[in-house]
């Protein structure tokens, strides 16, 4: 069964990456509990094709994994990759039906486009999910005969995706997102998700100020729209720095590692503010390796999550595995309340996660 609401060409990580414990090693009410109840059944249903795919993925992941002593030990152990779309099957059909009745607004940047590629791949493999995904501005359905006016963007249940605005100005993205939801057309939205970009964070970003603005704005909106469900998204990450140039950047406090620390600080604040059940944790899905451990980088004396190279191509962009990983987390985050409602009370266990920690 799925991990709660957490997919391969890999570049070496060098000495900056360690197989740290999972960034959000958390067992909560939701899909993870259903997974434990159905794991035996899923093992018997697993097809030869799926098993072969996982074996090839595991072999490639081990080939390019970190060369530390801990990783060497891990490679000697047989692991089952966790980013398997087959685990989607453990979500009750009733929860997909519930989601099909919702009007979802998904505002995103470049990583969101990659997520949608992964989501469509999942839908192709699991047509029974039957989720409708349309771009903002597209007519959800053809106009009726004699009527030349197209339905409004949120006039019918669907996942409506659209741009957030220019990267580098997260404050304006937040304000634009909320303004859309406060507009006349936005009154029809049932579920809203804002995905900021990794590029919205620089060395100069005041993480605490940005977080405060986000929280105050979203809480104000929630007060006005008590029936609107806001799914808060963590910020995407980047692959770790490596090589001589990377060491020079790190020495002067620049590069991907430093920026991952900035994103990690914001993500930690977000998790602490709203709790795991209200979050689409794209950062956790990106950093989680095939063996279940977390890719991390050392900045100062603290380790911060990073995009695992198992999920990235040569340019550091998401590959097919990465797209599947974040799309699966996105879909499960949308159905989380329904999954929770279907669990027996005795299955409820909550553990508060931690991310950054002393080395």
Q: What is the pLDDT of residues 134-163, one digit of tens each?
A: 998 765 555 555 555 666 789 899 999 999
| pLDDT over 70 (residue 84) | yes
Classify residue 231 as left (phi > 0), alpha (psi -120 to 50) or beta: beta
Structure tokens at 60: 């490639």
The Cα–Cα gap between 247 and 255 comes to 9
| pLDDT over 60 (residue 53) | no
Average pLDDT rounded to a whole number, residues 197-223: 97
pLDDT value of position 25: 39
| pLDDT over 70 (residue 75) | no
Decide the pairing of beta strands 133-135 and 229-233: unpaired
56 exposure class (CB count in 10 Å sphere: 0-12, 13-18, 19+): exposed
Structure tokens at 208: 């605490």
pLDDT value of position 255: 74
pLDDT value of position 282: 98
CA distances from 297 to 79, 307, 356 (A): 23, 10, 10
| pLDDT over 80 (residue 202) | yes
Using an 8 Å Cβ cutoff, are 23 and 305 in contact?
Answer: yes
The Cα–Cα gap between 310 and 296 comes to 13
| pLDDT over 60 (residue 259) | yes
Structure tokens at 200: 């919205």
Q: Which residues are within 8 A (CB) of 281 and not within 5 positions of it... i.e. 6 or more apart? A: 5, 6, 24, 233, 234, 267, 271, 329, 333
- As a whole number, the mean pLDDT across the chain is 78
Half-sphere CA count of 290, side-chain side, radius 13 A: 33
| pLDDT over 80 (residue 312) | yes
- pTM: predicted TM-score of the whole model, two decimal places: 0.72
Instruction: Choose between 356 and 95: higher pLDDT.
Output: 95
Instruction: Choose between 251 and 270: higher pLDDT.
Output: 270
- Name the architecture of domain 17-140+152-353: 3-Layer(aba) Sandwich (3.40)
46-55, 82-91, 158-167: which range is least confident on average?
46-55
| pLDDT over 90 (residue 244) | no
The Cα–Cα gap between 310 and 312 comes to 6
| pLDDT over 50 (residue 343) | yes
Angle at 234 between CA 228 and CA 240, to 5 degrees: 165
């Amino acid at each position: 069964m799925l991990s709660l609401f957490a997919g391969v060409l890999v570049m070496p990580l060098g000495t900056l990456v360690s197989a740290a414990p999972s960034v959000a090693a958390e067992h909560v009410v939701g899909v993870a509990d259903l997974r434990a109840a159905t794991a035996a059944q899923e093992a018997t249903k697993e097809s030869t094709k799926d098993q072969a795919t996982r074996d090839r993925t595991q072999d490639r992941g081990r080939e390019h994994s970190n060369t530390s002593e801990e990783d060497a030990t891990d490679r000697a152990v047989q692991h089952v990759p966790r980013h398997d779309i087959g685990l989607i099957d453990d979500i009750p059909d009733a929860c997909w039906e519930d989601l099909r009745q919702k009007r979802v607004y998904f505002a995103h940047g470049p990583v969101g486009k990659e997520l949608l590629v992964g989501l469509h791949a999942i839908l192709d493999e699991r047509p029974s999910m039957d989720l409708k995904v349309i771009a903002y501005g597209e007519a959800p359905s053809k106009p009726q005969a004699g009527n030349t006016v197209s339905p409004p963007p949120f006039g019918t249940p669907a996942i409506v995706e659209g741009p957030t605005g220019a990267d580098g100005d997260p404050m304006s993205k937040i304000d634009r997102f909320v303004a859309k939801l406060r507009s006349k057309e936005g009154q029809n939205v049932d579920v809203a998700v804002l995905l900021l970009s990794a590029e919205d964070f620089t060395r100069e970003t005041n993480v605490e100020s940005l977080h405060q603005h986000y929280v105050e704005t979203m809480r104000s909106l929630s007060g006005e729209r008590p029936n609107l469900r806001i799914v808060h998204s963590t910020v995407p990450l980047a692959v770790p720095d490596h090589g001589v140039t990377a060491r020079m950047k790190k020495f002067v406090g620049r590069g991907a590692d430093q920026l991952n620390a900035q994103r990690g600080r914001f993500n930690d604040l977000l998790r602490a503010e709203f709790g795991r059940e209200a979050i689409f944790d794209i950062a956790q899905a990106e950093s989680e390796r095939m063996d279940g451990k977390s890719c991390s980088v050392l900045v100062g004396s603290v380790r911060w999550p990073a995009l695992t190279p198992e999920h990235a191509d040569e340019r550091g962009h998401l590959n097919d595995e990465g797209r599947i990983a974040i799309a699966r987390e996105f879909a499960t985050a949308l159905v989380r309340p329904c999954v929770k409602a279907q669990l027996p009370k005795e299955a409820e266990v909550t553990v508060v996660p931690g991310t950054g920690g002393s080395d």
